[in-house]
Structure 1
Amino acid sequence: MNSEAFITRLKIILEYYNLTSSTFADTIEVQRSSMSHLMSGRNKPSLDFVLKIVDKFPDVDLYWLLNGEGNFPKKNVNITIEQKKEVLEKTKNTTPSLFTHSEPISKEIPNTQFSESAKKLIKVVLLYNDGTFEEFKQ
């Protein structure tokens, strides 16, 4: 990813929504100094930073933001909550072949300091080759 081009696209987003760097940082819930360091070219954007942008601004296409490919504002972003629930219900009782395993998997993990409740799934993001994505939160 080209950092200068990313900053240019970020400036386009700010102008489109008529936001300052400070209000943008507040909106996506990052420190203002992080935004300042990014805009000056001192730091590169983190994955968390990018995901916060596409989460708070659904018109921002992930591939456009990262690579300049796609459109801004994004077309057809009207995915309803009902549509998301429908996808979740369809996939709830199916096991993708990627995760199919012929042998039983032991739930015991020897020599670790993690308990079963240590990690919980909070978000799943599906990225499609046409530049669209779907996000499912717990």
Structure 2
Amino acid sequence: MVNGSDFTKRLEKILEYYSLTAAAFAEEIDFNRSTISHLLSGRNKPSLEFIMKLYQKFPEVDMDWLLFGKGNFPSTSDNNLDKAPKEKSVIRKEPTMDLFSKENISEIPNAVHANKNQKQIEKIIIFYVDGSFNVYQN
């Protein structure tokens, strides 16, 4: 569970690190100013949409640190990063396999089929940047 007052302190640290006002931060992540104000005052807890937008614009922010206080910000590996927000970079995706197609079952390694006592996947949920999601259920 996200602790509101601790979350507020971590959010303030992000604003300070990037030298952003609450209004500039709201504009940067394309979010409502009043929502940012409510988060900073501790009135509201962060929504999934807020977290996703923050992470999309500032991928160097460790979500475990932001939500639960585990880890550091900025992390030691991020010390070489410029303090300015990164522009979106092109992510090259490897070709994907349709996991739900019966035709591709033979392509899955035999080791996966060997143990009948393995846990079975019940549901896969994919969250999209725009806040929508798809649920795939067996």
Normalising by structure 1, what TM-score? Answer: 0.60
RMSD of aligned alpha carbons: 2.8
Gaps of 5+ in 1: 101-120, 125-138
Q: Partners in 2 of 1:11 and 1:122 — Cα distance?
A: 27
Q: Deviations over 1:68-115 (max 9, x none)?
A: 1123224379x9623xx12xx1xx225276269xxxxxxxxxxxxxxx
Distance 1:122 1:66, change over 3 A: closer
Query: Alpha-carbon deviation of 1:122?
Result: 6.9
| Identical residues among aligned pairs (%) | 47
Count how many residue pairs are aligned between Structure 1 and Structure 2.
97
**Dislocated runs of 4+, deviation >4 Å:** none
The answer to which structure, 1 or 2, has the higher relative contact order (CA under 8 A, 6+ apart) is 2
Gaps of 5+ in 2: 82-88, 101-119, 130-138
Distance 1:70 1:42, change over 3 A: same
Q: Deviations over 1:37-92 (max 9, x none)?
A: 11111211111111111110011011110001123224379x9623xx12xx1xx2
Distance 1:95 1:68, change over 3 A: same
Normalising by structure 2, what TM-score? Answer: 0.60
Match of 1:98 among 113, 116, 121: 121
Q: Partners in 2 of 1:43 and 1:37 — Cα distance?
A: 6
